[in-house]
A and B are shown apart, each in its own frame.
Chain A
């Protein structure tokens, strides 16, 4: 149900990418794809708050025939982006991302003083905990 996940920091570096079920890949390098996703998010965020008819808002999600992309951005600028199947409702995806931030990212990335948060996360513990977390949510 969950296809893939990106984690970006406030400067746009991709800290983490993981995929579970992706049938079609883009024909760009990982770097280019990450930049594309981040650039899209940035542009959409700017567009959304400018066009907003009410108070300033933030972009949450978009949906196509085959998937839903949900993004959760923390006030500290960390962005969690998840592509999931439409069967998974929007609120569920939002909850997953928020819990991911609180239970995996803060606990195993932020609290690890040896880990730099300006470059891709290179920690087996983090990867394992994230996989375990996602698997517990899919089932």
Chain B
């Protein structure tokens, strides 16, 4: 049985299907929870569960990456390799604080929000792509780094740019198994 034209690598899915699926999911969450703040929390939580597993996928495919020691290294690898690998975009890194413990990630083209317009009732409260914040938090927690990650602007809400603020909290200590000192 031959595969004609239009044959696609079975592991690849069209990005439109992905955007549509994500959009359906957000719409359903809004219907179920009715409160956009609650939906933000749910998206972050879902993202966290994705992140804790996605990190292993990322590390397996980039064996040259070792544990980062500074937030700058993290920002660099996150944008140039992480985002590139999974979303096909490379966000810009901006607005470092003087203490280098906080930075902004600016996304110019968001594949999740390609065909989206927010309805007026959640225009000011919903962070549509909040799942990304959860993914970043979950993934970094698995490499022992505790960060706070949140949206500060979204073009869907009429802001100038889609911007995520990432703040370093602390390094998590490797936990010892029970019974050890």
- Inter-chain contact B180/A78, CB cutoff 8 Å: no
Question: Given A75-B66, A102-B61, is A39 in contact with B177 using a C-beta cutoff of 8 Å?
Answer: yes
B98 close to chain A: CB less than 8 A: no
State which residues 37-80 of B face A: CB under 8 Å.
53, 55-57, 59-61, 63, 65-67
Contact of B175 among A11, A105, A110 (CB under 8 A): A11
List residues of chain A with CB within 8 A of the CB of B63: 98, 102
- Inter-chain contact A76/B177, CB cutoff 8 Å: no
List residues of chain A with CB within 8 A of the CB of B67: 75
List residues of chain A with CB within 8 A of the CB of B57: 106, 110-111
Contact of B177 among A12, A74, A75 (CB under 8 A): A12
Q: CA separation between A39 and B59, bound complex, in Å?
A: 25
- Inter-chain contact A76/B143, CB cutoff 8 Å: yes
B67 to chain A, nearest CB (A): 4
B99 close to chain A: CB less than 8 A: no
Q: CA separation between A10 and B66, bound complex, in Å?
A: 16
B179 close to chain A: CB less than 8 A: yes
A50 close to chain B: CB less than 8 A: no
Max count, chain B CB within 10 A of own CB: residue among A35, A77, A105, A111: A77
B32 close to chain A: CB less than 8 A: no
Q: CA separation between A87 and B21, bound complex, in Å?
A: 51
Question: Given A42-B180, A75-B66, A77-B142, is A106 in contact with B56 using a C-beta cutoff of 8 Å?
Answer: yes
- Inter-chain contact A35/B179, CB cutoff 8 Å: yes
Contact of A76 among B55, B61, B180 (CB under 8 A): B55
B9 close to chain A: CB less than 8 A: no
Q: A11-B175, A75-B65, A98-B63 are in contact. List 14 more A-B contacts (CB 8 A).
A: A10-B142, A42-B177, A42-B180, A76-B55, A76-B143, A77-B143, A78-B56, A101-B56, A101-B60, A102-B60, A102-B63, A110-B53, A111-B57, A117-B53
Which residues of B does A touch, CB under 8 Å?
A: 53, 55-57, 59-61, 63, 65-67, 142-144, 174-180
Which residues of A does B touch, CB under 8 Å?
A: 10-12, 35, 38-39, 42, 74-78, 98, 101-102, 105-106, 110-111, 113, 117
Q: Which 9 A-B pairs have the closest CB atoms?
A: A12-B177, A102-B60, A106-B60, A75-B67, A76-B142, A110-B56, A110-B53, A75-B143, A106-B56
CB<8 Å pairs between A and B, sample of 21: A10-B174, A12-B177, A35-B177, A35-B179, A38-B177, A39-B180, A42-B176, A42-B177, A42-B180, A75-B65, A76-B55, A76-B143, A77-B144, A78-B56, A98-B63, A101-B60, A102-B60, A102-B61, A102-B63, A105-B60, A106-B56
